[in-house]
Amino acid sequence: LKGQAFIVYSGLDNAIKAQHDLQNYDLFDKKMEIQFAKQTSDVTLKARGEFDKFSVKQRFQRKKVEEAKEREGKRGKMQEELEKVKGDIDNIQDKMQANLEEEKRLLIENQKIKLTFENLPKNVTEDQVGVLLTNYQGVKEVFVNPET
C-alpha cells in the first residue's frame, strides 16, 4: 500500500504517545495522519503465538466479502436513486402533458373560428346573416362591417 506504514508497538501506552505526538507531523511537506489499525497485525499475532497462514487467508477472504457487500450496498443505493430520478422524470412528463392538454383546451375554448363572407349586399344586417347561419351550430358572433 503506497503512502502507508504499519508500526507495531510493544505496549498500548507507547502507541498512544506516538499517535498523539506525531499526529499531523509534517514529513516531506505532507501531514501524517495516524490511527489505530482495524485488524491485529501479523507481527502481533506471531508474537502471541496465534499466527497461522490459515487465519491470514480467512482475513483476506473476509475482507473480500466485506468489500463485495459494500459494493452491493452502493449499487443498491445507486439503483434507488435511479428509480427516484425515473419517478421524478415520469412526474414531470405527466405534469407537462397535463399542462399541454390544458393549454390546448383553453386555446380551443377561447378561439373563435372566423369565416369571412364576401360580396354581401351593402344593406345586409348582422341579424340577417345570423338567420342565414341558424342551421350551423357553434356560431359565437356575427359582425358585418358596414364600410365594405
- Using CA atoms, how far apart are residues 55 and 136, in angstroms rounded to an integer? 94
Look at residue 54 in the predicted model and tell me its pLDDT.
63
Q: pLDDT per position in the chain (148 positions), as tens?
A: 567 887 888 788 888 999 999 999 888 888 989 988 877 777 777 777 777 776 677 878 888 999 999 999 999 999 999 999 999 999 999 999 999 999 888 877 766 667 778 888 888 888 898 888 888 887 878 888 877 6
Residues in the chain: 148
4: left (phi over 0), alpha (psi -120 to 50) or beta: beta
Distance, in Å, from the CA atom of 134 to the CA atom of 142, rounded to the nearest integer, reads 12
Closest by CA to 51, choosing from 61, 41, 60, is: 41
As a whole number of Å, the end-to-end CA separation of the chain is 95
C-alpha cell at 38: 482495524
